Amino acid sequence: MTLTTSEVIICPCGEQFIAPLYSSINVSEEPELQEKLLKGEINKVICPRCRETFFAGRFLLYHDMEKNLMIWMAPKVEGVSQDDNRNVEIERRIQALQKRYV
Ligand SMILES: [Zn+2]
């Protein structure tokens, strides 16, 4: 089953927007998703303000019924540490915004 959820994305520029993210793709039902995945287009989002393109996905379940294949895909290790840095940066920005509005 292919599943998407609408999630709030926070760009490093501070912009918040909602984008549909895949948490599970079934390439037997939707073969075009495999091509999208190979091109790196799954869970790629574009910030509407600064046009920055980045990956917002965390974990993705890849399901190929014909090949009897089910794979959990996790972000690359470098990507994880980058995300961690980014999360810290976002937290800092949120704190700064909170201070501004208090
Ligand atoms: Zn942005």
Rounded distance from Cα 90 to ligand 1 centre (Å): 12
Structure tokens at 84: 């961690």
Distance 58 CA to ligand 1 centre (A): 19
In the structure, what pLDDT confidence band is assigned to residue 86 with cuts at 50, 70 and 90?
low
46 is a domain residue: yes
CA of 56 to the centre of ligand 1 (A): 13
Q: Residue 77 above 80 pLDDT?
A: no
Cβ atoms within 10 Å of 90's Cβ, excluding its own: 16
- Residue 60: half-sphere exposure toward Cβ, Cα within 13 Å: 24
Four-residue CA torsion sign, 40, 44, 50, 51: positive
Q: Is the residue at 11 inside a domain?
A: yes
pLDDT tens, residue by residue, 40-64? 899 999 999 999 998 887 788 999 9
Nearest alpha carbon to residue 62 among 30, 84, 91:
30
- Asked whether residue 80 carries a pLDDT value surpassing 50, the answer given is no
Asked whether residue 23 is domain-assigned, the answer is: yes
Structural domain including 35 reads 3-75
**Ligand 1 center from residue 14 Cα (angstroms):** 6
Residue 33 Cα, ligand 1 centroid: separation in angstroms? 26
What is the reported pTM?
A: 0.67
Distance 12 CA to ligand 1 centre (A): 6
Number of other CB atoms surrounding residue 58 within 10 Å: 15
How far, in Å, CA of 100 to CA of 56, rounded? 27
- Say if 59 falls within a structural domain: yes
| Total count of domains within the chain | 1
